[in-house]
Structure 1
Protein backbone atom coordinates (compact mmCIF):
# COMPACT_ATOMS: atom_id res chain seq x y z
CA UNK A 1 0.00 0.00 0.00
CA UNK A 2 1.10 3.53 -0.64
CA UNK A 3 2.39 5.81 2.09
CA UNK A 4 -0.41 8.29 1.31
CA UNK A 5 -3.05 5.62 1.99
CA UNK A 6 -1.39 4.72 5.30
CA UNK A 7 -1.29 8.40 6.30
CA UNK A 8 -5.01 8.77 5.55
CA UNK A 9 -5.79 5.69 7.65
CA UNK A 10 -3.99 7.29 10.59
CA UNK A 11 -5.91 10.56 10.10
CA UNK A 12 -9.25 8.70 9.92
CA UNK A 13 -8.42 6.87 13.17
CA UNK A 14 -7.65 10.21 14.82
CA UNK A 15 -10.96 11.63 13.64
CA UNK A 16 -12.78 8.52 14.94
CA UNK A 17 -11.18 9.02 18.35
CA UNK A 18 -12.22 12.68 18.40
CA UNK A 19 -15.85 11.79 17.62
CA UNK A 20 -15.84 8.92 20.14
CA UNK A 21 -14.75 11.28 22.93
CA UNK A 22 -17.24 14.03 22.01
CA UNK A 23 -20.66 14.58 23.58
CA UNK A 24 -21.65 16.63 20.55
CA UNK A 25 -20.39 17.65 17.13
CA UNK A 26 -21.63 20.77 15.36
CA UNK A 27 -21.01 21.45 11.66
CA UNK A 28 -20.41 25.01 10.51
CA UNK A 29 -19.68 26.63 7.18
CA UNK A 30 -16.83 29.04 7.85
CA UNK A 31 -16.42 30.47 4.32
CA UNK A 32 -15.75 34.17 4.31
CA UNK A 33 -14.34 34.46 7.84
CA UNK A 34 -11.08 36.34 8.12
CA UNK A 35 -8.06 34.89 9.88
CA UNK A 36 -8.68 37.26 12.80
CA UNK A 37 -12.31 36.13 13.09
CA UNK A 38 -11.34 32.44 13.03
CA UNK A 39 -8.69 33.13 15.67
CA UNK A 40 -11.27 34.87 17.85
CA UNK A 41 -13.71 31.98 17.42
CA UNK A 42 -11.03 29.41 18.23
CA UNK A 43 -10.09 31.26 21.42
CA UNK A 44 -13.74 31.31 22.54
CA UNK A 45 -13.98 27.59 21.87
CA UNK A 46 -10.73 26.85 23.67
CA UNK A 47 -11.86 28.80 26.75
CA UNK A 48 -15.08 26.73 26.85
CA UNK A 49 -13.41 23.34 26.37
CA UNK A 50 -14.60 22.94 22.78
CA UNK A 51 -12.32 21.59 20.06
CA UNK A 52 -12.65 23.17 16.61
CA UNK A 53 -11.25 21.22 13.68
CA UNK A 54 -11.29 21.28 9.89
CA UNK A 55 -11.05 17.94 8.13
CA UNK A 56 -11.63 16.74 4.59
CA UNK A 57 -15.25 15.66 4.18
CA UNK A 58 -14.37 12.26 2.74
CA UNK A 59 -12.16 11.43 5.71
CA UNK A 60 -14.91 12.48 8.15
CA UNK A 61 -17.43 10.32 6.28
CA UNK A 62 -15.13 7.32 6.66
CA UNK A 63 -14.58 8.07 10.35
CA UNK A 64 -18.27 8.44 11.27
CA UNK A 65 -19.49 5.41 9.36
CA UNK A 66 -21.46 3.13 11.71
CA UNK A 67 -21.31 5.59 14.62
CA UNK A 68 -23.91 7.81 16.30
CA UNK A 69 -22.57 10.68 14.17
CA UNK A 70 -23.24 8.99 10.81
CA UNK A 71 -26.37 11.14 10.34
CA UNK A 72 -24.06 14.09 9.57
CA UNK A 73 -22.93 12.46 6.32
CA UNK A 74 -25.48 14.26 4.11
CA UNK A 75 -24.43 17.64 5.51
CA UNK A 76 -20.74 17.13 4.73
CA UNK A 77 -20.69 19.19 1.55
CA UNK A 78 -18.53 22.19 0.86
CA UNK A 79 -16.07 23.58 3.37
CA UNK A 80 -16.96 22.53 6.90
CA UNK A 81 -15.50 22.90 10.33
CA UNK A 82 -16.55 20.77 13.26
CA UNK A 83 -16.92 22.01 16.83
CA UNK A 84 -16.62 19.11 19.27
CA UNK A 85 -18.32 19.51 22.64
CA UNK A 86 -16.08 17.45 24.88
CA UNK A 87 -17.37 18.51 28.30
CA UNK A 88 -20.76 20.13 27.66
CA UNK A 89 -22.85 19.07 24.66
CA UNK A 90 -24.64 22.41 24.30
CA UNK A 91 -21.73 24.85 24.53
CA UNK A 92 -20.56 24.62 20.88
CA UNK A 93 -24.01 25.57 19.57
CA UNK A 94 -24.25 28.47 22.04
CA UNK A 95 -20.85 29.88 21.06
CA UNK A 96 -21.57 29.53 17.33
CA UNK A 97 -24.98 31.19 17.64
CA UNK A 98 -23.54 34.13 19.58
CA UNK A 99 -20.55 34.49 17.27
CA UNK A 100 -22.76 34.37 14.16
CA UNK A 101 -24.76 37.37 15.39
CA UNK A 102 -21.79 39.64 14.64
CA UNK A 103 -20.14 37.53 11.93
CA UNK A 104 -22.64 36.77 9.18
CA UNK A 105 -20.18 34.57 7.28
CA UNK A 106 -20.29 31.87 9.95
CA UNK A 107 -23.21 29.55 9.26
CA UNK A 108 -24.38 26.81 11.60
CA UNK A 109 -25.43 23.78 9.55
CA UNK A 110 -26.38 20.86 11.80
CA UNK A 111 -25.06 18.66 14.55
CA UNK A 112 -25.38 15.61 16.71
CA UNK A 113 -26.00 16.24 20.40
CA UNK A 114 -25.70 13.25 22.73
CA UNK A 115 -26.49 10.84 19.90
CA UNK A 116 -29.43 12.73 18.35
CA UNK A 117 -29.20 14.40 14.94
CA UNK A 118 -30.29 18.04 14.99
CA UNK A 119 -30.91 20.17 11.92
CA UNK A 120 -30.34 23.94 11.83
CA UNK A 121 -33.60 24.85 13.60
CA UNK A 122 -33.08 22.28 16.34
CA UNK A 123 -29.50 23.45 16.87
CA UNK A 124 -30.77 27.03 17.32
CA UNK A 125 -33.28 25.80 19.91
CA UNK A 126 -30.51 23.94 21.73
CA UNK A 127 -28.31 27.05 21.65
CA UNK A 128 -31.08 29.06 23.31
CA UNK A 129 -31.42 26.66 26.25
CA UNK A 130 -30.30 28.07 29.58
CA UNK A 131 -27.06 26.70 30.97
CA UNK A 132 -27.03 23.67 33.24
CA UNK A 133 -26.26 25.86 36.25
CA UNK A 134 -29.25 28.14 35.53
CA UNK A 135 -31.57 25.14 35.16
CA UNK A 136 -30.33 23.66 38.45
CA UNK A 137 -30.82 27.04 40.15
CA UNK A 138 -34.37 27.32 38.83
CA UNK A 139 -35.15 23.80 39.98
CA UNK A 140 -33.77 24.40 43.46
CA UNK A 141 -35.65 27.69 43.67
CA UNK A 142 -38.91 25.98 42.77
CA UNK A 143 -38.28 23.24 45.35
CA UNK A 144 -37.31 25.76 48.03
CA UNK A 145 -40.23 28.16 47.49
CA UNK A 146 -43.04 25.97 48.96
CA UNK A 147 -40.92 25.07 51.99
CA UNK A 148 -40.02 28.74 52.57
CA UNK A 149 -43.65 29.81 52.23
CA UNK A 150 -44.77 27.12 54.70
CA UNK A 151 -42.08 28.17 57.21
CA UNK A 152 -43.15 31.82 56.83
CA UNK A 153 -46.79 30.80 57.37
CA UNK A 154 -45.92 28.84 60.54
CA UNK A 155 -43.81 31.72 61.86
CA UNK A 156 -46.69 34.16 61.39
CA UNK A 157 -49.15 31.71 62.94
CA UNK A 158 -46.95 31.33 66.03
CA UNK A 159 -46.62 35.12 66.34
CA UNK A 160 -50.40 35.49 66.11
CA UNK A 161 -50.97 32.86 68.79
CA UNK A 162 -48.41 34.49 71.08
CA UNK A 163 -50.01 37.91 70.49
CA UNK A 164 -53.52 36.55 71.19
CA UNK A 165 -52.45 34.88 74.46
CA UNK A 166 -50.79 38.02 75.81
Structure 2
Protein backbone atom coordinates (compact mmCIF):
# COMPACT_ATOMS: atom_id res chain seq x y z
CA UNK A 1 0.00 0.00 0.00
CA UNK A 2 2.83 2.36 0.73
CA UNK A 3 4.08 2.02 -2.83
CA UNK A 4 0.63 2.83 -4.21
CA UNK A 5 0.43 5.99 -2.10
CA UNK A 6 3.96 6.94 -3.14
CA UNK A 7 3.09 6.40 -6.80
CA UNK A 8 -0.04 8.53 -6.44
CA UNK A 9 1.94 11.35 -4.83
CA UNK A 10 4.58 11.15 -7.58
CA UNK A 11 1.91 11.28 -10.28
CA UNK A 12 0.27 14.30 -8.61
CA UNK A 13 3.64 16.06 -8.45
CA UNK A 14 4.25 15.25 -12.11
CA UNK A 15 0.82 16.68 -13.01
CA UNK A 16 1.52 19.89 -11.06
CA UNK A 17 4.92 20.25 -12.72
CA UNK A 18 3.32 19.78 -16.13
CA UNK A 19 0.72 22.47 -15.33
CA UNK A 20 3.44 24.83 -14.11
CA UNK A 21 5.44 24.23 -17.30
CA UNK A 22 2.33 24.87 -19.42
CA UNK A 23 1.60 28.17 -17.65
CA UNK A 24 5.28 29.15 -17.91
CA UNK A 25 5.25 28.45 -21.66
CA UNK A 26 2.21 30.71 -22.11
CA UNK A 27 3.94 33.56 -20.30
CA UNK A 28 7.10 33.00 -22.36
CA UNK A 29 5.35 33.31 -25.74
CA UNK A 30 2.80 36.04 -24.84
CA UNK A 31 3.00 39.67 -25.86
CA UNK A 32 0.62 40.73 -23.06
CA UNK A 33 -1.52 39.20 -20.33
CA UNK A 34 -4.55 40.49 -18.46
CA UNK A 35 -5.36 39.18 -14.98
CA UNK A 36 -9.09 39.07 -14.27
CA UNK A 37 -11.41 38.52 -11.32
CA UNK A 38 -14.57 36.81 -12.54
CA UNK A 39 -16.29 36.51 -9.13
CA UNK A 40 -20.06 36.73 -9.39
CA UNK A 41 -20.23 35.95 -13.12
CA UNK A 42 -22.60 33.26 -14.34
CA UNK A 43 -21.42 30.26 -16.31
CA UNK A 44 -23.28 31.62 -19.33
CA UNK A 45 -21.39 34.95 -19.16
CA UNK A 46 -18.02 33.25 -18.71
CA UNK A 47 -18.81 31.06 -21.73
CA UNK A 48 -19.65 34.17 -23.79
CA UNK A 49 -16.41 35.81 -22.64
CA UNK A 50 -14.37 32.73 -23.61
CA UNK A 51 -15.98 32.73 -27.07
CA UNK A 52 -15.08 36.40 -27.56
CA UNK A 53 -11.51 35.70 -26.46
CA UNK A 54 -11.25 32.81 -28.96
CA UNK A 55 -12.51 35.06 -31.78
CA UNK A 56 -9.80 37.60 -30.96
CA UNK A 57 -7.04 34.96 -30.85
CA UNK A 58 -6.68 35.27 -27.07
CA UNK A 59 -6.18 32.31 -24.78
CA UNK A 60 -8.09 32.43 -21.47
CA UNK A 61 -7.65 30.10 -18.56
CA UNK A 62 -8.53 30.04 -14.87
CA UNK A 63 -5.32 29.14 -13.07
CA UNK A 64 -4.54 28.50 -9.43
CA UNK A 65 -2.58 31.40 -8.00
CA UNK A 66 0.05 29.11 -6.51
CA UNK A 67 0.73 27.58 -9.93
CA UNK A 68 1.18 31.03 -11.47
CA UNK A 69 3.54 32.03 -8.66
CA UNK A 70 5.57 28.86 -9.23
CA UNK A 71 5.59 29.39 -13.01
CA UNK A 72 6.81 32.97 -12.67
CA UNK A 73 9.38 32.28 -9.97
CA UNK A 74 12.62 34.04 -10.87
CA UNK A 75 11.02 36.65 -13.13
CA UNK A 76 11.73 40.30 -12.31
CA UNK A 77 8.03 41.12 -12.20
CA UNK A 78 6.92 38.15 -10.06
CA UNK A 79 7.05 40.15 -6.80
CA UNK A 80 4.86 42.88 -8.31
CA UNK A 81 2.26 40.27 -9.28
CA UNK A 82 1.97 38.67 -5.84
CA UNK A 83 -0.70 41.13 -4.60
CA UNK A 84 -2.68 40.47 -7.79
CA UNK A 85 -2.60 36.70 -7.37
CA UNK A 86 -5.23 36.41 -4.64
CA UNK A 87 -8.81 35.21 -4.88
CA UNK A 88 -10.24 34.01 -8.16
CA UNK A 89 -7.90 34.65 -11.07
CA UNK A 90 -8.43 34.18 -14.77
CA UNK A 91 -5.62 35.03 -17.18
CA UNK A 92 -6.07 36.15 -20.79
CA UNK A 93 -2.90 35.83 -22.87
CA UNK A 94 -2.47 37.78 -26.11
CA UNK A 95 0.12 36.30 -28.42
CA UNK A 96 0.07 38.54 -31.51
CA UNK A 97 -1.54 41.87 -30.70
CA UNK A 98 -0.74 43.12 -27.18
CA UNK A 99 -4.07 44.90 -26.79
CA UNK A 100 -6.31 42.08 -28.01
CA UNK A 101 -7.26 40.70 -24.58
CA UNK A 102 -7.71 44.17 -23.10
CA UNK A 103 -9.99 45.19 -25.99
CA UNK A 104 -12.20 42.12 -25.48
CA UNK A 105 -12.41 42.78 -21.73
CA UNK A 106 -13.22 46.45 -22.23
CA UNK A 107 -15.98 45.64 -24.75
CA UNK A 108 -17.36 42.90 -22.49
CA UNK A 109 -17.43 45.23 -19.47
CA UNK A 110 -19.44 47.81 -21.47
CA UNK A 111 -21.96 45.12 -22.37
CA UNK A 112 -24.50 45.99 -19.68
CA UNK A 113 -24.72 45.04 -16.01
CA UNK A 114 -23.61 41.47 -16.65
CA UNK A 115 -20.18 42.61 -17.82
CA UNK A 116 -19.62 44.82 -14.81
CA UNK A 117 -18.92 41.79 -12.62
CA UNK A 118 -15.74 41.10 -14.59
CA UNK A 119 -12.96 43.01 -12.87
CA UNK A 120 -9.48 43.69 -14.19
CA UNK A 121 -6.81 43.00 -11.58
CA UNK A 122 -3.72 43.99 -13.58
CA UNK A 123 -1.91 43.57 -16.86
CA UNK A 124 1.51 42.42 -17.93
CA UNK A 125 3.27 43.70 -21.03
CA UNK A 126 6.95 43.39 -21.88
CA UNK A 127 7.82 42.43 -18.31
CA UNK A 128 6.02 45.43 -16.81
CA UNK A 129 3.04 45.09 -14.52
CA UNK A 130 0.35 47.71 -15.18
CA UNK A 131 -2.70 48.49 -13.07
CA UNK A 132 -6.34 47.94 -14.04
CA UNK A 133 -6.85 51.54 -15.19
CA UNK A 134 -3.85 51.34 -17.52
CA UNK A 135 -5.12 48.07 -18.97
CA UNK A 136 -8.51 49.58 -19.79
CA UNK A 137 -7.38 53.05 -20.85
CA UNK A 138 -4.03 52.41 -22.53
CA UNK A 139 -3.60 48.76 -23.48
CA UNK A 140 -7.18 48.45 -24.77
CA UNK A 141 -6.79 51.53 -26.96
CA UNK A 142 -3.53 50.50 -28.60
CA UNK A 143 -3.88 50.25 -32.37
CA UNK A 144 -3.82 46.75 -33.82
CA UNK A 145 -1.35 45.41 -36.36
CA UNK A 146 -3.59 46.14 -39.33
CA UNK A 147 -4.16 49.73 -38.21
CA UNK A 148 -0.43 50.25 -37.72
CA UNK A 149 0.29 48.76 -41.15
CA UNK A 150 -2.20 51.16 -42.74
CA UNK A 151 -0.56 54.13 -41.00
CA UNK A 152 2.89 52.97 -42.10
CA UNK A 153 1.72 52.55 -45.68
CA UNK A 154 0.17 56.03 -45.65
CA UNK A 155 3.44 57.42 -44.32
CA UNK A 156 5.36 55.74 -47.13
CA UNK A 157 2.90 56.94 -49.78
CA UNK A 158 2.78 60.60 -48.72
CA UNK A 159 6.23 61.61 -50.07
CA UNK A 160 5.55 59.77 -53.36
CA UNK A 161 2.23 61.57 -53.78
CA UNK A 162 3.93 64.91 -53.19
CA UNK A 163 6.69 63.98 -55.66
CA UNK A 164 4.14 63.10 -58.36
CA UNK A 165 2.31 66.39 -57.71
CA UNK A 166 5.60 68.29 -58.13
CA UNK A 167 6.35 66.47 -61.38
CA UNK A 168 2.89 67.31 -62.73
CA UNK A 169 3.00 70.96 -61.63
CA UNK A 170 5.01 72.38 -64.63
CA UNK A 171 2.77 70.64 -67.18
CA UNK A 172 -0.34 71.73 -65.32
CA UNK A 173 0.90 75.31 -65.10
CA UNK A 174 1.70 75.26 -68.85
CA UNK A 175 -1.90 74.13 -69.56
CA UNK A 176 -3.20 76.99 -67.39
CA UNK A 177 -0.97 79.43 -69.31
CA UNK A 178 -2.25 78.21 -72.69
CA UNK A 179 -5.84 78.41 -71.46
CA UNK A 180 -5.29 82.00 -70.26
CA UNK A 181 -3.68 82.97 -73.60
CA UNK A 182 -6.60 81.44 -75.50
CA UNK A 183 -9.11 83.37 -73.38
CA UNK A 184 -7.08 86.57 -73.93
CA UNK A 185 -6.96 86.01 -77.70
CA UNK A 186 -10.75 85.46 -77.80
CA UNK A 187 -11.24 88.69 -75.90
CA UNK A 188 -12.75 87.16 -72.80
1:88 corresponds in structure 2 to: 97
RMSD, aligned CA: 2.1
Conserved 8 A contact 1:24-1:113 = yes
**CA 1:154 to 1:7, structure 2 compared with 1: closer, same or farther past 3 Å?**
closer
Conserved 8 A contact 2:99-2:141 = no
Count of aligned pairs between the two proteins: 166
> Which of structures 1 and 2 has the larger relative contact order (alpha carbons within 8 angstroms, sep 6+)?
1
TM-score, scaled to structure 1: 0.87
Conserved 8 A contact 1:90-1:113 = no
CA distance in 2: counterparts of 1:119 and 1:111, whole angstroms:
6
Compare CA radii of gyration and give the structure with the larger one.
2
Conserved 8 A contact 1:89-1:114 = no
Question: What secondary structure is seen at the aligned counterpart in 2 of 1:89?
Answer: coil
The 10-residue stretch of structure 1 (68-77 or 88-97) with the greater mean CA deviation from structure 2: 68-77
CA distance in 2: counterparts of 1:119 and 1:41, whole angstroms:
21
Q: Structure 1 regions of 5+ residues with no counterpart? A: none
The 10-residue stretch of structure 1 (55-64 or 11-20) with the greater mean CA deviation from structure 2: 11-20
Question: What secondary structure is seen at the aligned counterpart in 2 of 1:65?
Answer: coil
TM-score, scaled to structure 2: 0.78
CA distance in 1: counterparts of 2:176 and 2:132, whole angstroms:
63
Q: Of 119, 125, 146, which residue of structure 2 is paired with 1:133?
A: 146
